[in-house]
Amino acid sequence: MNVKTKLLLAIMANAKQVRFHDACKAAELLGFVHKGGAGSHVAYARTGEPVGLNFQNCGGFIPPYQARQLAAMIEKFGDIQ
């Protein structure tokens, strides 16, 4: 199992405790591109995908609703079995 698969599976297994850094890395592994942000927020977009990802750094973690949005994108673009 490669590093990408391990990270994506770990996020799927525990979407309540996703580290901010891991969320950003996962978004980039899924083909999303950093589009900016302000303060503790960062935004990611993917060509052809109308829904973007927005992460807020809350003590090193992202809020659970943002983790669920990331999990939905992992299901859509992750190619993990």
Q: What is the pLDDT of residues 14-58, one digit of tens each?
A: 888 999 999 999 999 999 999 988 888 999 999 999 999 999 999
Report residue 81's pLDDT band, with 50, 70 and 90 as the boundaries: low
Distance of CA 21 to the CA centre of its chain: 9
Q: Which domains does the chain have, with CATH numbers?
A: 3-77 (3.30.920)
- String of b and e for 34-54 (b: at least 16 CB within 10 Å)? eeeeeeeebbbbbeeeeeebe
The rounded distance, in Å, linking the Cα atoms of 3 and 23 is 14
